[in-house]
């Protein structure tokens, strides 16, 4: 059996031999860990552009990717959960070896990745795009073990569906409490878009409900836009308690449905705890993290301590880009170009980075913030930017809202083919 | 698309006749007006800034317009996003653009734009845009004649040779969907 046939047979659900898979002769191997917006884009662009010159292996434990971006819209029934599902079959058809497995360790000296299924993958370049994990103990009284009762809902899929179900079953006039995370975290406007979407749902099915936001940050992304939108669409429903009033030091009592804020006990009916965040576990296992995230150089997101390992997306401490699916996708194309140039001698182009975050405040009321970024001194640095304005015409807001849906379709195709 | 000037010399010839945009417009049918708009904008802009290209006599030309909006934007329409040093020279040279570079640059477009997707609300797919429409649209964003904030930023940060590269890349794509 030829080697390529073996690799092909290994696509999806494969079991690997326990001995290391050796690098293919004459064909450098790039191992990509994580099949989200960053990792899948890197794999796709590497395979698409190298036309078989690279052996691209994507390691991803899940058969289906549920995008975290746009998942807030499922809370207000503006998208179905199924419409946020993506599979890896088109990437496999591009020649990428998609391994349904979990990377559990990296031996950087030997250039090998250990897999949860017992296999070992050798690499010439490694790309880590593991997304986020949660910082244990960051919200007193709550741990990830409680997430089946009080969801974090900060990964797409089951957790978001759980939160939607709980909101739908909440008693009339009940209280929904959301604990927002400290910086830095995935999707800066995300918690506040979530508040908007929950409020939208409540206006329809439970109009006397209350929403309490407990926030360790004094300011937040698109704050003026959200607060204006909340006043217009959901008057009197949303109360936010910032750090000056105890929002920075809450204690959750999951068993009795209480949150202690500045010494006062607040009863809740449904809660959403979004904890402090850090890079996905494999980044730590690889010995690359510093303060929870992986410092990377700005030209092509190589780890500052290992030029053979690129880390992108949420897990990277790259500088000024927000942690978003858009950012990860943008970074991925820079990384793919750089790796391909190094391994195949193809042309290397200067990095270009961009981000835009759309947020839905209500149906047909969308806002956005965006910027371009450059490789600066030691970090990716913000360049010019733009943001929607308070008081914009309704038709512009409706156009921005529609635009976000078009973006979702386009980036899905760009990531997964 | 065949009408698009493929080389700088073709463009020089087009401008060198000294025809005004309105004169040309009367002679040609409406389907070619977008090309004329682009050429006229190019001539106006290049006459002021692009010595390396315009070596023939300065064309006398009326202020061009796009969809009825004058391209000679008023000072009030300018913003910090507009860099006067960036002109249309690169776009004019479409067909000579660096396709591979364009393919790389296109990655930035494809985060939001589909390639072959059917047109959906708000963001047009790019593979079916004629090169000239593509370059003209970017120029209109750069001059703040189109409203979208995101595209104004994108356009303001594309140098002429980058526009040319993108144009060359998108022009090289097959006209029908060819998703692998």
pLDDT tens-place string over residues A70-84: 999 999 999 999 999
What single string gives the DSSP state of each residue in chain B? -TTS--SHHHHHHHHHT---HHHHHHHS-GGGHHHHHHHHHHHHHHHHH-TTT--SPPPP-PPPEETTEESS--GGG--TT--TT--SHHHHTTTSS-HHHHHHHHHHHHTTS-SSSPPBTTB--STTS-HHHHHHHHHHHHTT-S--HHHHHHHHT--HHHHHHHHHHHHHS-SS----
Give the confidence band of B88 by pLDDT, cuts at 50, 70, 90.
low
Report for A206-220, B16-30, B77-91: range of highest mean pLDDT: A206-220
Per-residue pLDDT, B26: 33
Question: Mind listing the pLDDT tens digit for each residue in B100-140?
Answer: 999 999 999 999 998 776 656 678 888 767 777 888 899 99
B67 pLDDT more than 80 = no
Task: Extract the residue ranges of chain A whose pLDDT is less than 50.
Answer: 1-19
B150 pLDDT more than 50 = yes
Does the beta-carbon distance from A384 to B156 stay under 8 Å?
A: yes
Q: Is B178 on the interface with A (CB under 8 A)?
A: no
* E-assigned strand segments in A77-158: 85-87, 97-99, 103-107, 112-115, 120-122, 125-128, 132-134
- B16-75 residues touching A, CB cutoff 8 A: none
Q: Which residue of A has its CA nearest to B147?
A: A396
Q: Is A305 on the interface with B (CB under 8 A)?
A: no
Per-residue pLDDT, B172: 85
Strand partners, B56: none
Does the beta-carbon distance from A406 to B122 stay under 8 Å?
A: yes
Domains of chain A, earliest start first: 3-133+278-349 (3.50.50.60), 137-275 (3.50.50.60)
* E-assigned strand segments in A180-313: 210-214, 238-241, 251-253, 258-261, 264-267, 270-273, 277-279, 294-295, 302-303, 306-311
Q: Is A3 on the interface with B (CB under 8 A)?
A: no
Give the confidence band of B15 by pLDDT, cuts at 50, 70, 90.
very low
Of the two residues A110 and B66, the one the predictor is more confident about is: A110
Query: In chain B, which residues have their Cβ closer than 8 Å to the Cβ of A398?
Result: none
Nearest CA to B120 among A220, A404, A310?
A404
Q: Is A396 on the interface with B (CB under 8 A)?
A: yes
B69 pLDDT more than 70 = no
Of the two residues B72 and A89, the one the predictor is more confident about is: A89
C-alpha distance from B125 to closest chain A C-alpha (Å): 9
Does the beta-carbon distance from A383 to B157 stay under 8 Å?
A: yes
Nearest CA to B91 among B22, B137, B27?
B137
Per-residue pLDDT, A10: 41
Question: Mind listing the pLDDT tens digit for each residue in B55-65?
Answer: 233 333 233 33
- Could you give the ipTM of this predicted complex? 0.90
Per-residue pLDDT, B126: 85
Per-residue pLDDT, B1: 32
Per-residue pLDDT, A77: 98
Query: In chain A, which residues have their Cβ closer than 8 Å to the Cβ of B111?
Result: 326, 329-330, 354, 407, 410-411, 414
CA distances to A97, A281, B159 from A135, in Å: 32, 11, 43
Quote the mean pLDDT of chain B: 58
Q: At which residue do the structure tokens 């526009």 appear? A: B163
Per-residue pLDDT, B138: 92
Does the beta-carbon distance from A409 to B114 stay under 8 Å?
A: yes
Per-residue pLDDT, B173: 83
- Nearest-by-Cβ selection for B120 from A354, A399, A409: A409
């Amino acid at each position: 059996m030829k080697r390529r046939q073996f690799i092909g047979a290994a696509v999806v659900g494969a079991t690997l031999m326990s001995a290391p898979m050796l690098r293919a002769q004459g064909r450098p191997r790039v191992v990509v860990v994580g099949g989200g917006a960053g990792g899948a884009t890197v794999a796709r662009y590497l395979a698409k552009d190298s036309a078989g010159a690279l052996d691209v292996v994507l390691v991803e434990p899940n058969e289906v990717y549920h995008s975290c971006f746009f998942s807030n819209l499922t809370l207000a029934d503006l998208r179905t959960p199924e419409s946020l599902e993506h599979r890896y079959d088109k990437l496999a058809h591009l020649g990428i070896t998609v391994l349904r497995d979990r990377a559990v360790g990296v031996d950087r000296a030997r250039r090998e990745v250990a897999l949860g299924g017992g296999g070992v993958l050798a690499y010439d370049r490694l790309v880590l795009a593991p997304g986020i994990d949660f910082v244990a103990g960051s919200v007193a009284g709550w741990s990830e073990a409680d997430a089946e009762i009080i969801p974090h809902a900060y990964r797409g899929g089951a957790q978001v569906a759980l939160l939607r179900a709980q909101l739908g079953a909440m008693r009339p006039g009940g209280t929904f409490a959301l604990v927002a995370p400290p910086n830095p975290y995935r999707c800066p406007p995300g918690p506040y878009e979530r508040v908007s979407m929950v409020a939208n749902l409540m206006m329809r099915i439970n109009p006397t409900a209350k929403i309490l936001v407990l926030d360790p940050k004094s300011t937040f992304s698109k704050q003026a836009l959200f607060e204006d939108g909340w006043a217009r669409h959901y008057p009197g429903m949303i109360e936010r308690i910032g750090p000056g009033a105890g929002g920075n030091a809450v204690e959750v009592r999951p068993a009795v449905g209480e949150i202690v804020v500045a010494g006062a006990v607040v009863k809740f009916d449904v809660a959403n705890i979004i904890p402090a965040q850090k890079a996905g576990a494999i980044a730590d296992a690889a010995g690359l993290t510093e303060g929870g995230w992986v410092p990377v150089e700005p030209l092509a997101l190589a780890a500052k301590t290992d030029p053979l390992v690129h880390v992108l997306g949420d897990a990277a401490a790259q500088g000024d880009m927000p942690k978003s699916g858009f950012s990860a996708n943008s970074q991925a194309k820079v990384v793919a170009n750089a790796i391909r140039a190094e391994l195949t001698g193809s042309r290397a182009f200067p990095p270009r980075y961009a981000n835009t975050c759309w947020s839905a405040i209500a149906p047909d009321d969308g806002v956005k913030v965006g910027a371009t970024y450059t490789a600066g001194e030691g970090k990716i640095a913000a360049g010019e930017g733009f943001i929607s304005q308070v008081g914009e015409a309704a038709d512009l807001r409706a156009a921005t809202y529609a635009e976000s849906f078009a973006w979702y379709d386009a980036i899905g195709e760009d990531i997964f083919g | 698309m065949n009408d698009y000037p493929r080389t700088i010399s073709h463009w020089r010839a087009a401008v060198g006749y000294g025809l005004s945009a309105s004169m040309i417009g009367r002679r040609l049918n409406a389907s070619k007006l977008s090309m004329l708009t682009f050429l006229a904008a190019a001539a106006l802009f290049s006459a002021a800034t692009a010595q390396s290209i315009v070596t023939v006599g300065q064309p006398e030309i009326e202020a061009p317009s796009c969809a009825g909006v004058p391209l000679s934007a008023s000072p009030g329409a300018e913003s910090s996003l507009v860099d006067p040093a960036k002109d249309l020279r690169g776009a004019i040279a479409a067909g000579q653009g660096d396709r591979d570079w364009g393919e790389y640059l296109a990655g930035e477009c494809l985060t939001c734009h589909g390639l072959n997707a059917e047109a959906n609300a708000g963001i047009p797919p790019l593979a079916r845009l004629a090169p000239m429409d593509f370059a003209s649209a970017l120029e209109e964003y750069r001059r703040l004649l189109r409203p979208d904030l995101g595209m104004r930023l994108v356009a303001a940060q594309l140098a002429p040779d980058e526009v040319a590269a993108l144009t060359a890349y998108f022009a090289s794509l097959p006209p029908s969907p060819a998703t692998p």
